């Protein structure tokens, strides 16, 4: 089959690789119909995630058709059209029972690596380095789905591929950010970063009862989309003094919730060699968590800071005193996608949201390397690339 494979920084190739096979009785094989490139794939593209190996198949956002199931999968059949959550979860452990699927204890065969970096291992993730399990990803014609009786959700006929695809990650990720903030109706929510996760966080905040959502970015096209497609008030951090502006807009009180949907590459800075350094008790170069610092400073007293943006190592100079003295609550982490699949599919079915509004580019899988370059440079107003095998 054809697959997009990682060969190093800014080196992604279309390769002919062996078809995946059923390895465990709870596996299924999915023939991919649509897959997307994620902002967090750019951390791989930029060589910032350790433990990638040459030839690793990329991709954690995908959907398709079941072509084969293992003997123990009785929830799916050949021919079922499914969307697959990006965290791989066993369904049986303490964390899965708690609906905290991204913290699954049993899905990372390389848990020892993650334990060195993080103390405990999170769930395995498709196409996201050997630190997260070394699973082949979904930017391919076929993919093996472990624990297939837990993750994939059947897609109703009335929902088209692109409407369902973003349930694999970015829609639930934006939704979880707003959900875990647990704010009162009428609250004001500020969102840093107007990429796909930020846009879904804005829409989700309104769905959950926010009265105002203020979006912060500096890419004109993203701010336009935040206003036009998600109904946010917008601030451009290149021109607007963010803290003062947010104070002015909230009667001096500050936002009740600040969502940081940017992550470790804020302002294009990088983390290098952090895996080696993680092995030495996580001493590493700092990322530049500029947006996170600003979110902490901007957040109103008693407010909540939520971090769906991806961080990997350690960061410097977080204003913990501001957080402490304002009594802030922090929420963060990978998305428990399985928790949100059914309720969010229902919202799509009910017409409350059509997630396909984020797609800006549709490109054949075999043009994947050029698609990565386009997405990284945000050329041609690129927001989200959907690849078709």
Interface residues with Zn ion (CB under 5 A)? 38, 61, 89-90, 93, 96, 104, 106, 169
Of 61 and 141, the one with the shorter C-beta distance to Zn ion is 61
Return left, alpha or beta for 240; rule: phi > 0 is left, psi -120 to 50 is alpha, else beta.
Answer: beta
Of 103 and 348, the one with the shorter C-beta distance to Zn ion is 103
Bridge partners for 75 per DSSP: none
Q: How far is the CA of 167 from the CAs of 65, 321, 325, 380, in angstroms?
A: 15, 37, 37, 25
Whether residue 170 contacts residue 131, with contact meaning beta carbons closer than 8 Å, is answered with no
The least distance separating Zn ion from the CB of residue 88, rounded to whole angstroms, comes to: 9
Of 93 and 366, the one with the shorter C-beta distance to Zn ion is 93
The least distance separating Zn ion from the CB of residue 23, rounded to whole angstroms, comes to: 18
Of 38 and 292, the one with the shorter C-beta distance to Zn ion is 38
The least distance separating Zn ion from the CB of residue 368, rounded to whole angstroms, comes to: 15
The least distance separating Zn ion from the CB of residue 356, rounded to whole angstroms, comes to: 16
Q: How far is CA 53 from the centre of its chain?
A: 22
Of 18 and 119, the one with the shorter C-beta distance to Zn ion is 119
238, burial (CB in 10 Å: exposed 0-12, middle 13-18, buried 19+): exposed
Which pair of tokens denotes residue 274?
């952090």
Whole-number Å distance between alpha carbons of 356 and 198: 15
Of 35 and 106, the one with the shorter C-beta distance to Zn ion is 106
Which pair of tokens denotes residue 285?
């170069």
State which residue has the least CB distance to Zn ion: 38
Q: How far is CA 58 from the centre of its chain?
A: 14
Task: Report helix angle 170-181 to 196-207, nearest 10.
Answer: 50
Which pair of tokens denotes residue 59?
């991709």
Residue 24 CB partners (closer than 8 Å, separation 6+):
70, 146
The least distance separating Zn ion from the CB of residue 307, rounded to whole angstroms, comes to: 15
Q: Which residue has the tokens 């008030």?
A: 233
* Nearest alpha-carbon partner for 40 in 376, 380, 387: 376
Residue 377 CB neighbour total at 10 angstroms: 9
The least distance separating Zn ion from the CB of residue 72, rounded to whole angstroms, comes to: 16
The least distance separating Zn ion from the CB of residue 274, rounded to whole angstroms, comes to: 20
Angle at 82 between CA 78 and CA 84, to 5 degrees: 120
Of 89 and 328, the one with the shorter C-beta distance to Zn ion is 89
Of 101 and 142, the one with the shorter C-beta distance to Zn ion is 101
The least distance separating Zn ion from the CB of residue 177, rounded to whole angstroms, comes to: 13
């Amino acid at each position: 089959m054809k697959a997009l494979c990682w060969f190093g920084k800014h080196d992604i190739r279309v390769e002919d690789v062996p078809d995946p096979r059923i390895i465990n009785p709870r596996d299924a094989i999915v023939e991919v119909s649509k897959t997307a490139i994620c902002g967090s794939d750019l951390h791989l593209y930029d060589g910032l995630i350790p433990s990638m190996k040459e030839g690793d198949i990329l991709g954690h956002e995908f959907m398709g058709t079941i072509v084969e199931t293992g003997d123990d999968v009785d929830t799916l059949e050949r021919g079922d059209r499914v969307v697959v959550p990006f965290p791989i979860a066993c369904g049986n452990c303490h964390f899965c029972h708690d609906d905290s699927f991204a913290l699954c204890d049993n899905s990372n065969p390389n848990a020892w690596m993650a334990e060195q970096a993080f103390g405990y291992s999170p769930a395995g993730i498709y196409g996201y380095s050997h630190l997260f399990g070394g699973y082949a990803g979904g930017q391919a014609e076929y993919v093996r789905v472990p624990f297939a009786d837990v993750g994939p959700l059947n897609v109703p006929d009335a929902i088209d591929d692109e409407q369902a695809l973003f349930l694999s990650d970015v829609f639930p990720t934006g939704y979880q950010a707003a959900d875990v903030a647990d704010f009162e109706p009428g609250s004001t929510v500020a969102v840093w970063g107007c990429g796909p996760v930020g846009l879904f966080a804005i829409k989700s905040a309104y769905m959950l009862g926010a009265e105002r959502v203020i979006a912060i970015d500096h890419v004109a096209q993203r701010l336009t989309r935040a206003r036009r497609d998600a109904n946010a008030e917008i601030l451009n951090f290149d021109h607007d003094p963010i803290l003062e502006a947010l104070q002015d807009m909230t009667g001096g009180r500050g936002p009740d919730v600040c969502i940081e949907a940017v992550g470790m590459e804020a302002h294009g800075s990088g983390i290098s060699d952090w895996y080696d350094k993680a092995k030495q008790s996580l001493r590493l170069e700092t990322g530049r968590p500029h947006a996170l610092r600003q979110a902490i400073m901007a957040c109103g007293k008693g407010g909540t800071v939520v971090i769906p943006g991806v961080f990997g190592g350690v960061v410097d100079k977080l204003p913990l005193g501001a957080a402490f003295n304002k009594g802030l609550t922090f929420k963060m982490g990978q998305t428990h996608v399985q928790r949100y699949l059914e309720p969010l599919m229902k919202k799509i079915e009910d017409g409350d949201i059509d997630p396909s509004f984020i797609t800006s580019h549709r490109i054949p899988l075999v043009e994947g390397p050029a698609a990565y370059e386009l997405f990284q440079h945000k050329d041609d107003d690129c927001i989200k690339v959907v690849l078709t095998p």
